[in-house]
Structure 1
Amino acid sequence: MTSPEMTPEEQTELDKALYDALNPLASALRSRASGLPEDRMWNADPVDVALSVLGAWKVVDTEVKRLTAIAAGTAGSYGASYEQMGAVWGITRQGARKKWPEAVNRPVPGSARTSAPLELCGGTAELMQETPSGGWMWAGTGADGTRGAADGGTRYATKEEAAAHAGAFLREHAVDRP
C-alpha cells in the first residue's frame, strides 16, 4: 500500500471541513485569551486574529498527532509491520519505528504473556496479551467482590479495547460511596 493521493475535489472538501472545524475552536481560544465574546473575535486586531487561528491550528496539529499514533497502534495490533506503516506514511521502516515506537508489539523473549494492571472504581483487572496470537483479554474483581473476565474465548484487537470492556465491568461492580 502506498501513500494515498487526493483529488483536487477531495482537497477542497477537506479544506472546507478543516476550516469549519477550526473556526469555532479559534473563536473559543481567542475569547478565553481576550475575555471578549466569541462573536467579536473576527473584529479584533488582525494580528491577534491571525495568532488565534495559528494557535487553533497548533491544537489541531497536536490532536492529529495523537490520533495518528492511535491509528498506527491499531494497525500494529492487527499485524501491520513498520515497513507497511512507513509505506503508507511515505517514510522508511526505520522512520515509522522512530515515529511510533510502541505501534508494533514485540513479544518479550521467554514470555508467553504480556499483562497490564487496571484499577478503576475500587476494583482491579488484569489486561493480558497472549503471544503469538496477540489478542487481548481481561480478568478482574469489582469493588463489590464480583469476579469477571472476557466472555469465553473473546480476544480483543487492542489493549485499549480490552481495557474498555474491563472498565465497564469494574464500573458495573463499583461500591456506592457516600
Structure 2
Amino acid sequence: MPPSESLTPAERAALDKALLDTLSPLATTLRSRATGLPEQDLWKADPVDAALSVLGAWKVLDTEVRRLTAIAAGTAGSYGATYQQIGATWGITRQGARKKWPDAVRRTDGGTGTFELFGGTAELTRNAGSGRWRWSARGADGATGPADGPEHPDSPAAPAAPADWATKEEAAAHAGAFLKEHALAR
C-alpha cells in the first residue's frame, strides 16, 4: 500500500493545512508579480482570477515536488535500491518506476556509484585489489573531500589518510555526512 493511502484522517488534515499554509503566500506572490498589484488587494479581485492564481501556485508546487521526488528516487537508487523497491514505495510497478525515473538506478559493475545530496555530489569507488570502498565529494559550498578523517574503523594502525570502508553503504554514509556538513545554509 502506498504511504499516502495509509494516512489517517488527522494526518491528512494536518498535511492539507501545512500545504495550504505554504501555498497561500506563494499564490499571493505569484499573482502580485503577474498583475503588478499590491499583495493586500489581490484577493479582492474577480473570483475566477483568484482561483486561477491558486491553481498556478499549485502548478509551481507540483513541479517542485516532482523535482524533489526524482532526487529522492535517485538517492535511493544510488544507495542500491532497485526499480522494484522504488516502484513498490511509490505504488507502481518496477517498469513504471523505470519509466518515471529512468536515471534513478544506475547499472554499474558494482565498483562505482554517484549520488547528489544537500546540493553536493559524491562518488563512491571500489578498490579492485582490497575490495574496500572510498568516497570523494564536492559539497554545495565548494569544499571537496574525502576529509582527512579518522583512521580506518577496523584497523587502529591504519594511516589517517582519506578513509576507505569495508562496504559501499559505510562509504556512502560518510560521504553523505560530508555533504550535509558542506550544504549551503538556507
Q: TM-score with structure 1 length normalisation?
A: 0.69
Question: How big is the shift at 1:44?
Answer: 1.0
- In structure 1, the residue matched to 2:58 is 57
- Contact 1:135 1:157 survives alignment (8 Å): no
Task: Describe the shift of the 1:18–1:82 C-alpha distance in structure 2 as closer, same or farther (beyond 3 A).
Answer: same
Correspondence for 1:153 among 139, 164, 174: 164
| Distance in 2 (alpha carbons) for counterparts of 1:20 and 1:134 | 48
Q: 1:129 aligns with which of 102, 124, 128?
A: 124
Q: How many residues align?
A: 148
Give yes or no for contact 1:26–1:53 (8 Å, CA) kept in 2. yes
Q: Distance in 1 between matches of 2:58 and 2:174?
A: 30
Deviation digits for residues 124-148 of structure 1 (CA, Å, limit 9, x no counterpart): xx953325989662279xxxxxx96
Indicate conservation of the 8 Å contact 2:137/2:179, yes or no: no
Aligned to 1:156, what secondary structure does the other structure show? helix
* Matches of 2:16 and 2:9, distance apart in 1: 10
Segments of structure 1 that go 5 or more residues without pairing to the other structure are: 117-125, 141-146, 169-178
Q: Which residue of 1 aligns with 2:28?
A: 27
- Counterpart of 1:78? 79
Question: 1:3 Cα deviation (Å)?
Answer: 1.2
Separation in 2, partners of 1:158, 1:95: 32
Q: How many angstroms does 1:54 deviate by?
A: 0.7
SS in 1 for 2:123: strand
Deviation per CA, 1:43-76, whole angstroms, max 9, x where unpaired?
A: 1111111111111000000000011111111211
Q: In the alignment, residue 156 of structure 1 is paired with which amino acid?
A: A
Instruction: Using structure 2 for the length normalisation, give the TM-score.
Output: 0.66
What corresponds to 1:11 in structure 2?
A: 12
Q: Given residue 136 of structure 2, which amino acid in structure 1 is its aligned partner?
A: W
Rounded to whole Å, the distance in 1 between the matches of 2:134 and 2:59 is 34
In structure 2, runs of 5+ residues without a counterpart are: 116-120, 139-143, 150-162, 166-170
